[in-house]
A and B are shown apart, each in its own frame.
Chain A
């Protein structure tokens, strides 16, 4: 580091509280030399789960993340179904799990969009931070804020009715579920589902209008070309619970297609870098330099050919009609894609609630014990991989997890760097609004690590400018 170089640290509250932070190094001419998103959190799950009985894992592992615990609960359960020798669940068990999963997609996306991203979209990236939070939204757009809170509530109620609890469900067990819906629970959820569908469609409109009205400003914002990865059905349709792996490159060419879940390690690897506890996944055939990819709502729209529910499919067509053929590379279009999935989730919830199997009583199957299995699911933030080996004493001997946010590690780092180069380079004063640009780019990916921290506001920040000797030159904090 030269004497006059500067180091900028953006510390979301997640960092202070142990999750992530951004550092930006500027050279003597205030150009960005390096920009990094560090994940400072380490748990050790892969090791401490060893020795635990395999049926315990679905309830244990969701404690990794209280924001999308259902995804971990179900990905682990899918692996443990296979460990228990069960290839196909009973129709009731599979549908209860799908319903819970759709409730999770619905609530998590609603939380992300309304509580977290909407202040940036409604008020602008540079708006006064005093109003640029959800309480500001509640004042200026009270109806929108109320709908956001009630949509999240509805998704959480779907999870509670299926899973027994809103956070950390207790329903999935190897080979099935331990409870289905009662008619009363089903009817209570049905009573609100149409209103939720209308609100979801309106939310698609908000996201679409925002994207199209600001396209010039956001087209390049934190954007770059990348590969995309997600699950699809055998017929190529969007699939969130149980699909096959497909990846496309930056031109839309298929890299691998309809790959069975248990072959994931043949195509994916994760690079370790010394400055982050989060690894950097890549597609093996392309290598660590070129093989990184994106996951999540935008990636899923880019890899699928259609959506099975009608209103979401119409919204998907409108998306590509407006933004051009897939793959769409506009990072800020994640928000629009996310709302299309919200609409799909609530349509799917409606279908499942009308299905007689949902109140059925055949819950469990059994089979011949196996040693090794992989469970893959589309969590709200992207493809989630759980891989376990279990010995003859029913104890776990190996666990490997690639969580959704990990796959977006390289993309988030690129977005941070790109936005820093565009907006911070060459300036000697870094304003609060400029810093928020960096966060807006991270926020598009809805990383688990920070989505909760601005659950009801924006990501808090502290920025320090230091010289090469570590002396504090300047400091900004928000709030």
Chain B
């Protein structure tokens, strides 16, 4: 990884996730300034780069895919990242959003926009504007859409687990997390 450019580049995104995995990354606290020295953030909420202008060394994926935009973003990440890591239960397994997978999508929409004690919807129309991306029939974990290199479980993985993973990958070391850091909650 070294040699190609000065600092390794890291990109992150949140697909059908709750941002909790990103919050856990922020939970490295003061080390966030250290991380900003260590790596260059590309295409991440952490800085304001929206597009990939160059290849990126490590991509972190939070969340699975629940709509067509998630799929497009994930494919874009795969095209531009050397190493792609699924972080958290949503990316690795679909997580809580995937609880809708056993239920017809139409029922989920009807419950939210037609039924419900406070819904005011005289026409009974469910949001369908072309500005809204198409929902997928199911919520898919990231590896069912693209190849994923590493899987980090947890909901969310702890800040320490995220930190050690990043540092190991940045240093090109094999990824060996101590037992206590691997949690499936």
A-to-B contact residues, CB < 8 Å: 11, 13, 15-19, 21, 23, 36, 38, 40, 42-44, 46-50, 60, 63-67, 69, 111, 129, 133, 135, 138, 145-146, 149-150, 152-153, 156, 165-168, 170, 264-265, 268-277, 279, 281-282, 288, 387, 398, 400, 402, 452-462, 477-479
User: Which residues does chain B contribute within 8 Å of A272, judged by CB atoms?
Assistant: 113, 119-121, 125-127
Complex Cα distance, B138 from A271, in Å, reads 27
- Please tell me if the beta carbons of B14 and A23 are within 8 angstroms of each other in the complex: no
Q: Taking A63-B18, A167-B156, A479-B48 as contacts, is the C-beta distance between A42 and B118 under 8 angstroms?
A: no
- Please tell me if the beta carbons of B26 and A456 are within 8 angstroms of each other in the complex: yes
Q: Taking A18-B66, A44-B112 as contacts, is the C-beta distance between A274 and B19 under 8 angstroms?
A: no
User: Which residues does chain B contribute within 8 Å of A63, judged by CB atoms?
Assistant: 18, 20, 95-96, 155
Given A44-B109, A65-B20, A152-B29, 16 more A-B residue pairs with CB atoms under 8 Å apart are A17-B70, A38-B129, A40-B131, A43-B97, A46-B112, A47-B110, A60-B96, A67-B18, A69-B20, A135-B47, A138-B33, A145-B33, A152-B26, A270-B118, A455-B45, A479-B50
- In the complex, the number of residue pairs spanning A and B with C-beta atoms less than 8 Å apart equals 227
The listed residue (B14, B100, B121, B133) touching A271 by CB distance below 8 A is B121
User: Which residues does chain A contribute within 8 Å of B14, judged by CB atoms?
Assistant: 17-19, 452-453
User: Which residues does chain A contribute within 8 Å of B125, judged by CB atoms?
Assistant: 272, 274
Instruction: List 8 tightest A-B contacts by C-beta distance, closest first.
Output: A66-B20, A44-B108, A479-B49, A275-B129, A63-B96, A47-B111, A66-B18, A452-B19
- Please tell me if the beta carbons of B111 and A133 are within 8 angstroms of each other in the complex: no
Name B93-137 residues within 8 Å CB distance of A: 95-97, 99-100, 102-103, 105, 107-113, 115-121, 125-129, 131-133, 135
- Please tell me if the beta carbons of A452 and B111 are within 8 angstroms of each other in the complex: no
Q: Does B2 contact A (CB under 8 A)?
A: no
B-to-A contact residues, CB < 8 Å: 13-24, 26-27, 29-30, 32-33, 36, 45-51, 63, 66-67, 69-70, 73, 95-97, 99-100, 102-103, 105, 107-113, 115-121, 125-129, 131-133, 135, 155-156, 159, 185
Complex Cα distance, B13 from A88, in Å, reads 42
User: Which residues does chain A contribute within 8 Å of B132, judged by CB atoms?
Assistant: 38, 40, 275-277
- Please tell me if the beta carbons of A265 and B13 are within 8 angstroms of each other in the complex: no
The listed residue (B49, B113, B126, B156) touching A66 by CB distance below 8 A is B156
User: Which residues does chain A contribute within 8 Å of B102, judged by CB atoms?
Assistant: 48
Complex Cα distance, B115 from A127, in Å, reads 47
- Please tell me if the beta carbons of A477 and B32 are within 8 angstroms of each other in the complex: no
- Please tell me if the beta carbons of A462 and B50 are within 8 angstroms of each other in the complex: yes
- Please tell me if the beta carbons of A168 and B109 are within 8 angstroms of each other in the complex: no
The listed residue (A17, A135, A398, A462) touching B73 by CB distance below 8 A is A17
